Amino acid sequence: MTGDTDDKPAAAGKLELLLERLDEAISVLARARSFAKPGKMQRVFETARRVLLQEGGCGALEARARHLEEAGIFEGSDWASPQILIPSLSTHSLQSPVEDTVMVEALSELRLLAVALGDYRHPLISQEQAHHYLTQVLAINLTMLFTPPSEAERETQGRLAQVSRRLLRHLADRIGFEHIIDKLIEEIWRVLQQRPIQVDSVKQMVTQIAVCQANPNIELGGSGQGGERLVSSLYGPSLGCREDPGLEVYRERLQRMDRGALQGEATGFARAMHDTGLVSPYHPVLLHHLLDHGDHLLAEALGLSATGRDCMLCYNELVRELVRTAVLPPTAQAVYGLALMLERGILYQPPVAPAIWRQINLPLSEWSREHLLAAYGHDAPPEARLLEGVLCMLGLPLGVGQGNNPTCQSARALSMWAYNDPDYLLQMVAWAARDDEIVMHFEGQPISSQDSVLGVAKELPMDLDPLSLLVVPHLDRIYAEMGRRCVAREGDPHRWVNPEFHGWWAGRGFSINVDVETGQLVDLDRFLRHFYACYHPYYNGNQPLIHPQPAGIAFTDSAARFIGWHAITILRTALDPQDVMRVYFFNPNNDSAQDWGDGVVVSTSGRGERYGEASLPFEQFASRLYIYHYDPLEGGELASVSDEELERVKAYLYRSWGADRIPATDLQASPANPNDSH
Amino acid sequence: MDKNPDKGYVALLGWSLNAVEAAEDFDRRYIVVAPDWAEDYCKQHDIPYVPWNFERLNDRSMEIAQTLKDMGVDVAIPLFEETVEWAGAINSLLMDNPRLLGQSMLMRDKSLMKRRAQLGGIRVGIFEEAHDREDVMRFLRRVNQTLLKLDGDLNDPIHFKAFDKAGCLGHRVIRTPDDVDAIPEEEFPALMESHLDGWEFAVEAWVHKGKIRFLNISEYVTLGYSVHVPASPELERYRPQIRQQIEKLIRTFEIDFGFVHPEYFVTSDDEMYFGEVAYRPPGFKVFELLERVYGFNAYQALILVFDPKTKEEEVAAFFPKEIEDAKCYAGCFGVYPRRRVVSRLEIPEETEDHPYFESHELTPPLEETVTKRTAFGTHWGLLFFKGDDPKQMHALLKRQEELDFYV
């Protein structure tokens, strides 16, 4: 070993020695009793990391994947159930400064690679699933694959950053590049179909694709076709800026364009925007130019329909002022918000237009300004940022997300107000942004957001749209305070909090199927029959839902295990194009397309959903529901739902979050005896 | 593993996962005696357990002894310095031998220990007890006067050790009056010793029926930093003398069974000086190194020699032949951060790429600012090495002292 002069044999010898060490470490782990395994893992991770950094190391680990798993390297962690792993979480693990975290992720992915390539038949995950998972992991971590570590990564990870890169390179080599780009594009389109307000991360991914396409060293083969539209919608949506010439050059070009050319520009931008929901930074430049060219071109550049155009013409001065103050290249998304707000016709509600005028001139408090600048930087004035947020919220009420914060109630309230009560929302924004205080009333008693210190969120949320950024901290504190005032009451506090917090239209009648004391299911049949009677068109006299209603679901993961209680809004119930009765709802989670396990997969497009809506077949939805509101003055007659249908709903429930919540008596009676209905 | 009812039933005093693991895989019945924070873990993993909070011996000490006796336990084995006197107290009841308590108290007081050694005819350095800083100043001055130092000459250091702390905890090297001032009040009383220029090493000896059954010499490359097993041939040369010394030690301390872990110096004139002795497994994972070198589990060896029901043949069959059966040299190095502000753990490439490097147990830093080390303190984790050449091992361990692991 010591006498080697030639480099190659030395490297090969080194890998060999390391593999010997690794195999020893694996067998120590394999021999250890389960309680002692955690103590033996670091040695495996440590040695595996050094193996991985050698030429051929990834392959050697891939070959040992089964051996590693059987020795227990994933025992006691989520990685032991590969079927529930979520691709988007891999980024966090791979960029972790903690070696063990990086390595458990790396080893898990090499294991799935062995599964995907058919070398390892896994009891819990199929070859196709593994392949699908890995392409998503690659798509999401594309940046790491093609670019060297950023300064931040180097600072936190040091040489560990190389581990992640080597791993991804190996995965890409084995899986094939064409899968990645296509997957990424598919993923972006899927997210965009939900028309989120926050699109920064999508814009980053599109930029990533543009970078790959421009790099001659990356062989994309036939893939990446669907990416053209995405890239062009951001970087060259029209003839005048096709080659991404820069904002200044484009502004000059506009000066020399005749009406026909401007018409072409306007159509190009409008089409790109409505196709993708993404707004190019060139778009505001065009709009500002068109302010001097009459209404037709302006309406054209916003891509307005007859409704939107009509609304724009009625409120012409307001629209133009909004373009002047809110629409800047860094706040380009305001264009889309403005266009959709006009399409919704909400300006015709008397208080809305004056409230928007107030918003345009609203002086921001010192705290609001600083908070906006801290979250969004100095590219645009904070007032314009907030206006962008207001326009987007009014245009895309279902595009609001809670970010990475436990504030689903606040996000839901904002969405509901934007959807149903826009001038109330604008009032809230004014109070929060100008006065740093919101006062709401709970059963006649005022609650000020300044008096309650503690909200649900432990830290001030930063990853939100501009409007939420300012309003959510207030709402969160008020919501938490309302909850505190219900502490002594029996039963679930949402009964009283939801109507007071969201608005008069939230039904005062309240149904819950979980006993708060014991966590056991209670009165399930009645709960479900009543839900059918209130919400299902076949049982409620074909009455469409009038107001959005808050509801609570038992959130389950892709293995149908209970994760927690979650707030959503029921928007409507209707037949989808395939004549399946579906509940359409708003989920304040940032991406509503979720797999809730046991075949319950939330759909976000293609089944009659409007932008931002999520949907499930009625039965499946009912099986995850645990709280809903209703008007106590309306009937209360239970629906005569067939026993078979009810049993199907209950079976979904018992197979998921209800599995360990069945009271002893129910367990004997109901699954075995379907005639047990009351 | 199936337990043999004809063999002893042992109690492990203190929580050590490695010890539990070894006991689980051995044919003796065992029970863990540990503070109540270990309870959930033990329940979860079906580890036999009785809760006990080891504080100072007090009136209630008999309670745990009686509990263990009622359970049919034959012997208690101390795993940490703090449980040595508890083992003595418990075993004096279990074995109906009051002398065992006194013996364990000797092991827990560095000053009494030295005097006892001296009485037994074992060579020790100059030592004294210190109750305040004044005592330390006087001792420092006197030692250096004895060495015929003049004012302004660099002082020879003295060693300052808290009475009842394990290993390097509370161990300070004192050279100047400033060092004396830096000693916190709570470290008194303490033992002071003159510094001996020489070769410091430690011994691990398993004793059964008054005889040494296995003797390992652990060579310190730098005290508090690094150790390797077995010792280099240069030190192993002294093995016969060292064995004699340990036999003398066992006689002096009247040790009939169990495990001793003494520290010695060899000076340039081949004279052995006794440092101190502990009646519990050594820190610094020497047990793990031994397993890598010889393949036997040192904790099981511990249980074997403590168990009063162990038969002579089993002991003879259990231990390998010292040195002859060693498969390699194994060493470990305790890492201390060298910088004042650190942000992450990064093993130097030079270390990682060395063929002797095996693994590490370092953890990422929890705080960015490193507390200044006063005494020898606790290292942040260990590096493990394994190889065939003692010279290279020695140099490698020494070299690690100059590298940054936290940057």
For residues A590-614, average pLDDT: 90
B/e letters for A318-334, b = 16+ CB within 10 Å, e = fewer, are bbbebbebbbbbbbbbb
User: What is the structure's pLDDT at A155?
Assistant: 66
A34 at the B interface (CB within 8 A)?
A: yes
Q: Which of B32, B359, B368 to mutate to test the interface with A (most CBs of A within 10 A)?
A: B359
Q: Which residues of chain B neighbour A99 with C-beta distances below 8 Å? A: 345, 364
User: What confidence tens digit (pLDDT) does each residue in A450-483 have?
Assistant: 887 777 776 777 779 999 999 999 999 999 999 9
Residue B46 has pLDDT above 60, yes or no: yes
Work out the mean pLDDT of chain A and round it to a whole number.
88
Higher pLDDT, A224 or B263: B263
Does the bond joining B230 to the residue before it have cis omega, within 30 degrees of 0?
yes
Contact A33 B24 (CB under 8 A): yes
Is B202-326 a CATH 3.30.70.270 domain? Answer: no
| Nearest alpha carbon to residue A669 among A645, A647, A637, A653 | A647
Contact B45 A46 (CB under 8 A): no
Q: Three-state DSSP class for A616?
A: strand
Give the closest-approach CA distance of A21 to chain B in angstroms.
Answer: 7
Contact B20 A46 (CB under 8 A): no
Q: Which residues of chain B neighbour A4 with C-beta distances below 8 Å? A: none
Q: How far apart are CA B126 and CA B193, in angstroms?
A: 6
Contact A1 B355 (CB under 8 A): yes
ipTM confidence score: 0.75
B18 at the A interface (CB within 8 A)?
A: yes
A32 at the B interface (CB within 8 A)?
A: yes
A162 at the B interface (CB within 8 A)?
A: no
A36 at the B interface (CB within 8 A)?
A: yes
User: What confidence tens digit (pLDDT) does each residue in A118-139 have?
Assistant: 999 888 888 888 988 898 888 7
Q: What are the extents of the domains in chain A?
A: 14-175, 185-235, 509-669
Taking the alpha carbons at both ends of chain B, their separation in whole angstroms is 44
Q: Which residue of B has its CA nearest to A17?
A: B355
User: What is the structure's pLDDT at B371?
Assistant: 62
Please report which confidence band the pLDDT of residue A317 belongs to, taking 50, 70 and 90 as the band edges: very high
Q: How far apart are CA A365 and CA A436, in angstroms?
A: 7
User: What is the structure's pLDDT at A674?
Assistant: 33
Q: DSSP letter at A447?
A: E
The structure tokens listed for A114 are 């062995």
Q: Which candidate from A35, A36, A159 shows the least CB-CB separation from B346?
A: A159
Asked whether the beta carbons of B215 and B204 are under 8 A apart, the reply is yes
Give the closest-approach CA distance of B315 to chain A in angstroms.
Answer: 25
Q: Which residue of A has its CA nearest to B351?
A: A50
User: What is the structure's pLDDT at B142?
Assistant: 82
Residue A557 has pLDDT above 50, yes or no: yes
A96 at the B interface (CB within 8 A)?
A: no
Pick the CATH number of B9-101 from 3.40.50, 2.30.29, 3.40.1350, 1.10.1760: 3.40.50
For residues A384-405, average pLDDT: 92
Please report which confidence band the pLDDT of residue A5 belongs to, taking 50, 70 and 90 as the band edges: very low
Q: Which residues of chain B neighbour A157 with C-beta distances below 8 Å? A: 344
Q: Percentage of residues in chain A with pLDDT exceeding 70?
A: 92
Asked whether the beta carbons of B9 and B72 are under 8 A apart, the reply is yes
**What is the crossing angle of helices B99-108 and B84-94, to 10°?**
170
Q: Sheet holding B211-222: strands in order across? A: B272-278, B258-267, B198-208, B211-222, B226-229, B329-334, B382-387, B357-360
- The radius of gyration of chain B from alpha carbons, rounded to an integer in Å, stands at 22
B301 by Cβ neighbours in 10 Å (0-12 / 13-18 / 19+) ranks as buried
User: What confidence tens digit (pLDDT) does each residue in B281-290 have?
Assistant: 987 789 999 9
User: What is the structure's pLDDT at B315?
Assistant: 95
For residues A101-124, average pLDDT: 93
Residue A667 has pLDDT above 50, yes or no: no
Helix ranges (H only) for A176-279 are 177-192, 200-214, 227-235, 247-255, 259-276
Give the per-residue SS3 of chain B: CCCCCCCCEEEEECCCHHHHHHHHCCCCEEEEEECHHHHHHHHHCCCCEEECCCCCCCCCHHHHHHHHHHHCCCEEEECCHHHHHHHHHHHHHHCCCCHHHHHHHHHHCHHHHHHHHHHCCCCECCEEEECCHHHHHHHHHHHHHHCCCCCCCCCCCEEEEECCCCCCCCEEEECCHHHHHCCCHHHCCEEEEECCCEEEEEEEEEEECCEEEEEEEEEEEECCCEEEECCCHHHHCCHHHHHHHHHHHHHHCCCCCEEEEEEEEEECCCCEEEEEEECCCCCCCHHHHHHHHHCCCHHHHHHHHHCCCCCHHHHHHHCCCCCCCCCCEEEEEECCCCCCECCCECCCHHHHCCCCEEEECCCCCCCCECCCCCCCCCCCCEEEEEECCHHHHHHHHHHHCCCCCEC
Q: Sheet holding B49-51: strands in order across? A: B49-51, B29-34, B9-13, B75-78
Q: Which residue of B has its CA nearest to A46?
A: B359
Q: What are the extents of the domains in chain B?
A: 9-101, 127-194, 202-326, 330-400
Cα-Cα-Cα-Cα torsion A558, A560, A562, A567, nearest 10 degrees, comes to 70
User: What is the structure's pLDDT at B374?
Assistant: 52
User: What is the structure's pLDDT at B180?
Assistant: 86
Residue A224 has pLDDT above 50, yes or no: yes
Taking the CB of residue B4, how many other CB atoms lie within 10 A of it? 12
Beta bridge pairs of residue B161: B171, B191
Asked whether the beta carbons of A111 and A167 are under 8 A apart, the reply is no
Contact A35 B17 (CB under 8 A): yes
Residue A676 has pLDDT above 70, yes or no: no
Q: How far apart are CA A66 and CA A26, in angstroms?
A: 11
Pick the CATH number of B127-194 from 2.60.120, 1.10.10, 3.30.1490, 3.40.50: 3.30.1490
Looking at A586-595, B67-76, B213-222, which range is the least confident one? A586-595
Q: Which residue of A has its CA nearest to B386?
A: A21
Give the closest-approach CA distance of A654 to chain B in angstroms.
Answer: 28
A42 at the B interface (CB within 8 A)?
A: yes
B38 at the A interface (CB within 8 A)?
A: no
Beta bridge pairs of residue B218: B202
Q: Which candidate from A21, A32, A47 shows the least CB-CB separation from B21?
A: A32
A30 at the B interface (CB within 8 A)?
A: no
Contact B353 A34 (CB under 8 A): no
The structure tokens listed for A532 are 């059918």
Give the closest-approach CA distance of A68 to chain B in angstroms.
Answer: 17
Q: How far apart are CA B220 and CA B239, in angstroms?
A: 16
Strands (E), A513-561: 549-556
Q: Which of A42, A47, A103, A163 to mutate to test the interface with B (most CBs of B within 10 A)?
A: A42
User: What confidence tens digit (pLDDT) does each residue in B178-195 have?
Assistant: 888 888 888 888 888 887
Q: What are phi and psi of B233, to 5 degrees?
A: -55, -30
Contact A35 B45 (CB under 8 A): yes
User: What is the structure's pLDDT at A3?
Assistant: 40
Q: How far apart are CA B142 and CA B151, in angstroms?
A: 12
Looking at A258-262, A358-362, A558-562, B114-118, which range is the least confident one? A558-562
Q: What are phi and psi of A490, to 5 degrees?
A: -80, 145
Q: Which residues of chain A neighbour B358 with C-beta distances below 8 Å? A: 21, 43, 47
User: What confidence tens digit (pLDDT) does each residue in B348-379 have?
Assistant: 888 988 989 988 888 877 777 666 555 555 78
A-B contacts (CB, under 8 Å): 49
Q: Do domains B9-101 and B127-194 have the same CATH topology?
A: no
Looking at A119-123, B144-148, B291-295, which range is the least confident one? B144-148
Does the bond joining A671 to the residue before it have cis omega, within 30 degrees of 0?
no
Whats the size of chain B, residue-wise? 407
| Nearest alpha carbon to residue B10 among B282, B307, B286 | B307
Give the closest-approach CA distance of B373 to chain A in angstroms.
Answer: 25
User: What confidence tens digit (pLDDT) does each residue in A493-529 have?
Assistant: 999 999 999 999 999 999 999 998 888 999 999 999 9
A275 at the B interface (CB within 8 A)?
A: no
A344: amino acid identity, one letter = R
Contact B355 A14 (CB under 8 A): yes
Contact A35 B18 (CB under 8 A): no
User: What confidence tens digit (pLDDT) does each residue in B335-356 have?
Assistant: 988 887 887 888 888 898 898 9
Q: Which residues of chain B neighbour A14 with C-beta distances below 8 Å? A: 353, 355
